[in-house]
Amino acid sequence: MTTDAAVELGVSVDTIRRDLRHLHERGLIRRVHGGAVPIARLPNSFAERAAEPSQATAALAAEIVQHFKPGQVIGLDGGTTCVEIAAMIPSNLPVTIVTNNPAAAVALGDHPKADVILLGGRVDLTWMTTTGAETVDEWRNYHLDIGVLGLCGLDAETGATTNSAMEVATKRALIRASTDVIVPIHHDKVAVCAPYVVAGLDELDMVVSARALPDELTLALEGQRSQIIVLGGSL
């Protein structure tokens, strides 16, 4: 990346490295081997995101629900996409949903064939998830067919990341409990690196993206045999 940028801009590699170091020190990027990636911006609160319906969120949720099968035990992480997924589960599909996302549990309130398990723990009122040691311990009680993992960033080198230090252990517990891990990813979180690492790309079984992924990330995921589904269009 650094060499390519130097050639494209007609400057020396040392100049590029110096500029990247300066941007890194200002907190505008995060330096990685061979270049840099954008820093994940602090996301809006759950309430703010829920008040802004997204076509991309709905499309990601609709795609992921198609992979659910009767009788499965499915884990849903925090975030508005998982709430949308819960709301879209067909009424004739018998499943067990385990979640640390109170809004996702509420979205299944009228589902006639879903067993819903809401994990206990401290409620983070900003992001509307249960977190902490109690939540982590409860994830260990389940063997999930599918775990849907929410992220703040996905990068070819760093992997899956989040802005919340409190959520790292909870998300790691969800991954460990899951046979298959599915990641819905919005375009503004692609090739972005948040401060706290959740998982390597080798732990992600399927990535569902609203838009085409950068070549570097696509190749890295394919190298780990992760399935990639791109919805495309104007999402």
Over the chain (235 residues), the average pLDDT of each successive run of 10 is 50 52 48 53 53 80 98 96 97 98 96 98 88 96 97 94 92 98 94 93 97 95 96 70
107: left (phi over 0), alpha (psi -120 to 50) or beta: alpha
pLDDT tens-digit readout, 4-39: 544 455 545 455 455 445 544 444 445 555 555 555
Do 79 and 151 meet the contact criterion of CB atoms below 8 Å apart?
no
pTM of the model: 0.80
Query: Which among 192, 157, 186 is positioned nearest to 39, based on CA atoms?
Result: 192
State which H helix or E strand residue 8 sits in.
helix 2-9
- Strand-pair category, 144-148 with 159-162: unpaired
Pairwise CA distance, residues 38 & 10, whole Å? 22
